[in-house]
Amino acid sequence: MEIADPVNVLGQPLGTCSTDPVTGFFRDGHCNTCREDAGSHTVCAVLTDEFLALSKYLGNDLTTPRPEFGFPGLAAGDRWCLCAGRFLQAVEEGCGPKILLGCTHERALDVVPLETLRAHAIDDAGAQG
């Protein structure tokens, strides 16, 4: 069940993270969430080689295509809705990717402090296309 009128961490309407590749728990391009989203896929990140390597090392290979799941595989520069906990872990490991505040769901704040999100933001004014 999708939540109506999702809000970003800035209190504004949630912007689109990526439609190419299509991201989000609902695969609608937004980092929207619901009770069933146990991982809280709420942080819109611009992926880096360092982050992708960490994710693979930790058991979540995001670079290998999985056509059987409609997953194209990701590369540095792609935007993707990350689990808030994994983003925070990457920050703590020194390889936290840049993020888009305007496209990061307010529920990310349940896991990641706003100051940490702002420190990694490339948009401090709201959503970007």
Helix then strand then coil, % of the chain, to nearest 5:
25, 20, 55
81 φ, ψ (degrees, to nearest 5): -80, 110
Per-residue pLDDT, 70: 85
Whose tokens are 């994994």? That residue is 86
- Mean pLDDT over 7-25 rounds to 96
Q: What one-character DSSP code corresponds to residue 101?
A: G
Whose tokens are 């982050």? That residue is 51
Task: Kindly report the pTM of this predicted structure.
Answer: 0.90
For 74-99, write each residue's pLDDT tens digit.
999 999 999 999 999 999 999 999 99
- Give the max Cα distance, the chain: 38
For 27-67, write each residue's pLDDT tens digit.
999 999 999 999 999 999 999 999 999 999 999 999 999 99
